[in-house]
Amino acid sequence: MSNTTVKQKRTALKVAKSSKTLNVSSGVFRVNQSITKTINPSISGKSFSSASDSKVLDKSLAQTPKHTVFDEHGQDVTPHPLYNPDPGVLQPKQGKIFPAHDTSWTTVTDFPSVAFQTTNASFTGPFTKSFFGSVSASRTSQTTESVTDETKDLLVKPDLSSSLSDVQARREEVKEQVREDIIDRVVDSYLTETETIWLLDIPAVSVSEDSEDAEAVKERNKYVERSMQTFNDAPKTKEVQSDSITMVDKAVMSSTWDMYDSFCNKGDASENIVVSAEGKKATVPDSSSMNHLLNPSGPDQSMSVFSTTSTVSGSSAHLEKMTCVLPVEEEPDLELILQSDKFKQDLAVMERVVLANIFQPKLAAYRQLPVIEDPDCVQTQIEEESWTEQSKNSLSPFLEHLWVFKCELTKGRNVSSMTWNKKNPDLLAVGYGQLDFKDQKPGLVCCWSLKNPTWPDRIFHCESGVTALDFSACNANQLAVGMYDGTIAIYNVQTTEQTPIIDSSDCANMHACPVWQLRWVDHDTGLAGEDKGEMLISVSGDGRISKWIHYKGLECVDLMKLKSPNMIVNNQRWNPKILSLAPGLCFDFHPNDSKVYLAGTEEGHIHKCSYSYNEQFLETYKAHTGPVYKVTWSPFCPDIFLSCSSDWTIYLWRQDLSKPVLGFTSGQKVVFDIMWSPHCATVFGAVREGKVEIWDLRVSSLDPTIVSVTNPGVNPTALLFTPETDCVLVGDSEGQVTVYKLKNLPAGDSTQVEALEDVIRTTLSSKHTLGKTDRDA
């Protein structure tokens, strides 16, 4: 019977070359008869399972597959037939059933079919075997065996001597490859209904009753009403009980930031749960992990919490694993906390806040904000008295002591230089180092923040005393430090590392004598070539002014050698070949014209030099009789500069005059440092042994306007004006940097440039007249 049905199928196939699928979707067929399986890759829902049983390969269908298959992207992945047999040739081997081949056809498109087949193989085993046995007659014995083998394992590929062998081999290959590749692949299977298959279509013919043939037709169609009764098998009840589905209610109070947090941390894999599982409604163990913050006790309790959720969580197993691991990792390590950087930061914030409380009035005064009195504290008598004292003197200008930067580290050290950070006006770098030849000790650079006057933010220990400092303007975190032994180091103040980014100790050309001044100069105005950008320029006691380039290490190029000019000794010219270099102590670049700079030497000469000439000075100013400690251009008047020296004098010069315009002396004390005020053109500050002086040329050019005497034994050695507020910093030989506020200085609305020029003009004219009178007299 099966044979006949097979043949029938075949004929049917031959006739209907329109290649409809021949999946027979009746259950009866499935069990007993041959079930054709077409090559056509489309699957019908029910028919698919039937197709998974024994199949007949329909070659003719292979030629014209009407059904196309599209994958998820809409591309046409209809498998092309590997073998296109001639349509007219009978396919004797057609009766062979190659479930494996069928799988090869279908695996290209329908992966689940393989699964079906593999799963159903065992199921249909007995049936197919019996079937195969019955169909064996229609096949060669060879193939029968092979087929049975195939049904057993579906993987054995017989070597067939048919013309199909190549095709089969190919198909097998395809099947092999595909199998391995796609074993793990998730494939979408689309189950669609095939078109209706007409197996037998005999359209009804209707004949009207009045026609001649009516009787004949009636005769032919003898309809007998007959009833049938189906057998009703005995019913059997079967009960199934499923596992009880435990339901757990979960509720989370989620706030806005809960949701924001979980949204932000959605991408993380495992840290997610520890970090921000609050409010993660999707994952089940959310309440447990949310509570880990509030959960006060240790692992035990949290373990129990997790265990309850793990029974409930239907989500992936790894999630459960995660929650079980959590209690172990969660225990915060005290040491870790204490050591974490975040903690340090927080502590630092705390410290600053406390200090802000303490120092608030002073800081407010510094920043020119109104001083807020603490409403809760009680003012004592003493305080009031001191206030009234100061208010008495409030008419005359004075320096109000605000606070002192000091700590035990800096005790006993001499402040040699101070500089503000160019970018952060609250950051001050102070260098500590002895200026004398004796008592040299290792130097120190401290970066103080205004917000914390009791402890510096950064401390760098240097090998030898620090004599010069400057912050870079381009890279505001680079601090150049010049030392007593001639080394120049560049530190990065962003880190607390003690080692500099680079230092010049490897450079062959390094300075042999103390570096007395350093400056980062921005040269990009007017210079061509490779000199653009910021460069570090230093002057040192070996008489050289050098430019340092950071290129694989600090390299230096000499800008100028400070030769001592020809000295006329006893009316003889000093032998020019034995020109020695005068130690340079200071230099200053012109604020507007960065090519011109002044350099002061130990001999008391001030040379005006140009960047482009390294041999000759443009001009020399001789007036000082002692080493010139500082020379500075006026920030407002382009022609004026000040110089101070150890011969107790400060001179005001004009660029074009070789003699100073004004000289300032007050007492016979060495002047260590001077600086123009950045706010007012006529004000400058000077630091002498034992005194801090603020001169205001509008008021008087003979006496300093403000004199502040320091403690006996302590010499102020460095002076710095603040760029924004009217405060002055004074560093002294005890390692303290005191901040003073300038009070009651006559303030002008403009920078008083004209005032300065007036003063100078009057002085010059008076001198001129004096000179005249002298000559006359």
Partner 1 sequence: MTAEVEETIKRIQSQKGVQGIIIVNAEGIPIKSTLDNSSTVQYAGNVHQLLMKARGMVRDIDPQNDLTFLRVRSKKNEIMIAPGKEMYAFLFRIQKPKQM
**Would you tell me which residues interact with partner 1 (CB under 8 A)?**
255-257, 259-261, 293-296, 332, 334-335, 337-340, 342-351, 353-355, 357-358, 360, 374, 376-380, 383, 454-455
Report the phi/psi class of residue 667: left, alpha or beta, with left for phi > 0 and alpha for psi in -120 to 50: left
The Cα–Cα gap between 109 and 100 comes to 15
Pick the closer one to partner 1 by CB: 300 or 615: 300
Pick the closer one to partner 1 by CB: 401 or 768: 401
Pick the closer one to partner 1 by CB: 406 or 654: 406
Pick the closer one to partner 1 by CB: 224 or 377: 377
Assess contact for 536 and 518: CB atoms under 8 A.
yes
The Cα–Cα gap between 570 and 574 comes to 9
Determine the 3-state secondary structure of 215 from DSSP.
helix
Pick the closer one to partner 1 by CB: 89 or 293: 293
Q: Within a 10 A sphere around the Cβ of 312, how many other Cβ atoms? A: 14
The Cα–Cα gap between 22 and 39 comes to 9
Residue 110 CB, nearest approach to partner 1 (Å): 48
Assess contact for 431 and 515: CB atoms under 8 A.
no
Residue 496 CB, nearest approach to partner 1 (Å): 9
Residue 261 CB, nearest approach to partner 1 (Å): 7
Assess contact for 451 and 352: CB atoms under 8 A.
yes
Q: How many helices (H) and strands (E) does the chain have?
A: 18, 30
The Cα–Cα gap between 171 and 164 comes to 10
Pick the closer one to partner 1 by CB: 295 or 744: 295
The Cα–Cα gap between 101 and 91 comes to 16
Assess contact for 474 and 532: CB atoms under 8 A.
no
Pick the closer one to partner 1 by CB: 259 or 549: 259
The Cα–Cα gap between 117 and 119 comes to 5
Residue 741 CB, nearest approach to partner 1 (Å): 20
Pick the closer one to partner 1 by CB: 185 or 342: 342
The Cα–Cα gap between 731 and 720 comes to 8
When computed from its CA atoms, the radius of gyration of the chain, rounded to whole angstroms, is: 51
Residue 257 CB, nearest approach to partner 1 (Å): 3
The Cα–Cα gap between 449 and 457 comes to 6
Looking at residue 298, its amino acid is: G
Pick the closer one to partner 1 by CB: 345 or 390: 345
Residue 301 CB, nearest approach to partner 1 (Å): 11
Residue 329 CB, nearest approach to partner 1 (Å): 13
Residue 444 CB, nearest approach to partner 1 (Å): 17
Pick the closer one to partner 1 by CB: 355 or 513: 355
Residue 335 CB, nearest approach to partner 1 (Å): 7
Pick the closer one to partner 1 by CB: 298 or 553: 298
The Cα–Cα gap between 431 and 419 comes to 9
Residue 344 CB, nearest approach to partner 1 (Å): 6
In 355-477 the beta strands, taken as DSSP E runs, fall at 398-405, 415-420, 427-432, 444-449, 458-461, 466-471
Residue 298 CB, nearest approach to partner 1 (Å): 10
Residue 322 CB, nearest approach to partner 1 (Å): 19
Q: In the structure encoding, which two tokens stand for residue 372, read together?
A: 């807020």
Q: Within a 10 A sphere around the Cβ of 458, how many other Cβ atoms? A: 20
Pick the closer one to partner 1 by CB: 331 or 524: 331
Pick the closer one to partner 1 by CB: 85 or 361: 361
DSSP sequence for 555-614: EEEEEEE-BPPPPEETTEE--GGGPPBPPEEEEEE-SS-TTEEEEEETTSEEEEEETT-S
Residue 271 CB, nearest approach to partner 1 (Å): 13
Pick the closer one to partner 1 by CB: 89 or 354: 354
The Cα–Cα gap between 614 and 243 comes to 97
44 Cβ contact list (under 8 Å, min separation 6): 21, 23, 25, 191, 192, 193, 194
Planar angle of CA 512, 514, 520, nearest 5 degrees: 105
The Cα–Cα gap between 54 and 725 comes to 97
Pick the closer one to partner 1 by CB: 148 or 454: 454
The Cα–Cα gap between 396 and 743 comes to 8
Chain centre to alpha carbon of residue 607? 49
Residue 466 CB, nearest approach to partner 1 (Å): 23
Determine the 3-state secondary structure of 725 from DSSP.
coil
Residue 266 CB, nearest approach to partner 1 (Å): 14
Residue 105 CB, nearest approach to partner 1 (Å): 56
* Strand-pair partners of 568: 573
Determine the 3-state secondary structure of 511 from DSSP.
coil
Pick the closer one to partner 1 by CB: 227 or 357: 357
